[in-house]
């Protein structure tokens, strides 16, 4: 058993990194990597809209690479195990910072497949680092190594990742937003820079978001036109909402629940996985940013302002 323990550990570590990589692609590859990993984790961490798609694919490719490389002997002790430990240390530092800030929401280590708090993920990483340290100590020195073989493995995985999940570059070409068919307004959300917001009139967070947006509109030249879709749950409070927000914006009211087969409900249009307030920034129909809820992906005025600097 003692003789086979290092190999058992390598198989378990491989399974852990495979799970982490696949989990970030759940429930579907493009949705998981874009909506959950990039918009939910990387961009709130400070990565730019342009860099996040590339960094997300790089991280997942590294995880796949480690999962396969740790099962072979090529530079196992000199490169593969140390790289795994360094990667986990970097993630652990970020998790420790999140814990310091009081964050207790899903850290995204395993996407939406296995929600984990930063504390749970940090404990998992510390245990894994300890196991890798034991593996490093009990792994003999590398022999008959080949940088070319390892490089080919790494580049193959990286190229495959970008080939199967191509980065959706946002340009000036017009696109038809999937939300446009539900917007009842003279404003064309597929023409130029636009803001589409899903609010509840009685929601304090929605009111604060609208007020922040209206204040930004006074300080930013060529600020996007804004259209609000309210749910009908508290439609009688819309005048109070705009009074607090500082000005009245283009808006419409949709049913909160679907009571017929003619139109979709407010929740079906927004998506049941999202929470209010939801703010979608569009440029010629291209979705640039999707804020939602009050957690890691919540609307932040200073972050949004940077998009215009």
Of 110, 133, 164, the position where a domain reaches its end is 164
Same domain for 186 and 159, yes or no, is no
Q: Would residue 222 count as lying in a domain?
A: yes
Same domain for 98 and 192, yes or no, is no
Instruction: Extract the tokens encoding 175.
Output: 């696109």
* Cα distances (angstroms) measured from residue 278 to each of 201, 228, 266: 13, 10, 12
Q: Would residue 174 count as lying in a domain?
A: no
Handedness of CA 107, 113, 114, 115 (dihedral sign): positive
Domain harbouring 241, CATH code: 3.40.30.10
Q: Would residue 105 count as lying in a domain?
A: yes
Domain of residue 122 covers: 5-164
Region for 222 from its dihedrals, namely left if φ exceeds 0, alpha if ψ lies in -120 to 50, beta otherwise: left
* 285 close to 177: Cβ distance less than 8 angstroms: yes
Give dist(CA 76, CA 138) in Å, integer: 12
pLDDT at 306: 80
Same domain for 105 and 230, yes or no, is no
Same domain for 50 and 114, yes or no, is yes
What's the number of domains the chain is made of? 2
Region for 177 from its dihedrals, namely left if φ exceeds 0, alpha if ψ lies in -120 to 50, beta otherwise: beta
Of 164, 198, 219, the position where a domain reaches its end is 164
Same domain for 46 and 86, yes or no, is yes
Same domain for 49 and 112, yes or no, is yes
Q: Would residue 124 count as lying in a domain?
A: yes
Give dist(CA 212, CA 208) in Å, integer: 6
Same domain for 60 and 34, yes or no, is yes
pLDDT at 208: 95
Same domain for 146 and 244, yes or no, is no
Own/partner pairs, 31-39, CB within 8 angstroms, 24+ separation: 32/111, 32/112, 33/57, 33/60, 33/165, 34/168, 35/290, 36/108, 36/111, 36/112, 37/108, 37/111, 39/289, 39/290, 39/297
Same domain for 196 and 130, yes or no, is no
- Three-state secondary-structure class, residue 195: strand
Q: Would residue 175 count as lying in a domain?
A: no
C-alpha closest to that of 291 among 305, 306, 307, 276: 276
Same domain for 97 and 215, yes or no, is no
pLDDT at 91: 92
Q: Would residue 15 count as lying in a domain?
A: yes
Per-10-residue mean pLDDT, the chain, length 309: 86 96 86 77 75 91 96 93 95 91 84 89 96 94 87 94 78 68 82 90 93 90 88 88 93 70 58 77 85 85 80
- Write the CB contacts of 286 (distance below 8 Å, at least 6 apart in sequence): 170, 171, 173, 175
The DSSP result for 221-285, as a single string, is TTPPEEEEEEEGGGGGGHHHHHHHHSS--EEEEE-SS--SSSS--HHHHH-TT--SSEEEEEETT
Q: Would residue 171 count as lying in a domain?
A: no
Q: Would residue 172 count as lying in a domain?
A: no
Same domain for 45 and 154, yes or no, is yes
Same domain for 206 and 245, yes or no, is yes
């Amino acid at each position: 058993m003692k003789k086979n323990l290092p190999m058992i550990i390598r198989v378990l570590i491989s399974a852990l990194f495979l799970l982490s990589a696949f989990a970030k692609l759940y429930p579907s590859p493009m949705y998981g990597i874009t909506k959950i990993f990039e918009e939910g984790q990387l961009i709130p961490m400070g990565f730019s809209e342009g860099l996040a798609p590339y960094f997300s694919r790089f991280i997942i490719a590294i995880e796949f690479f480690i999962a396969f490389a740790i099962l072979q002997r090529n530079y196992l002790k000199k490169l593969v195990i140390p790289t795994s430990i360094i990667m986990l240390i970097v993630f652990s530092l970020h998790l420790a910072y999140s814990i310091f800030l009081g964050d207790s929401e899903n850290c995204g280590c395993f996407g939406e497949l296995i929600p984990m708090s930063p504390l749970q993920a940090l404990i998992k990483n510390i245990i894994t680092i300890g196991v890798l340290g034991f593996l490093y100590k009990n792994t003999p020195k590398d022999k008959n190594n080949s940088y070319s073989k390892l490089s080919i493995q790494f580049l193959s995985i990286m190229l495959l990742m970008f080939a199967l999940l191509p980065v959706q570059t946002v340009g000036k070409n017009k696109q038809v937003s999937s939300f446009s068919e539900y917007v009842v307004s003279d404003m064309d959300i597929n023409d130029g820079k636009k803001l589409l917001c899903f609010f509840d009139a009685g929601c304090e967070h929605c009111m604060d978001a609208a007020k922040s947006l209206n204040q930004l509109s006074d300080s930013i030249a060529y600020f996007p036109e804004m259209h609000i879709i309210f749910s009908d749950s508290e439609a009688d409070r819309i005048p109070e909402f705009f009074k607090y927000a500082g000005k009245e914006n283009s808006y419409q009211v949709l049913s909160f629940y679907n009571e017929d087969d003619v139109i979709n409900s407010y929740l079906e249009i927004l998506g049941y996985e999202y929470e209010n307030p939801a703010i979608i920034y569009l440029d010629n129909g291209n979705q640039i940013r999707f804020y939602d809820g009050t957690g890691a992906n919540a609307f932040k005025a200073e972050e949004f302002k940077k998009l215009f600097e």
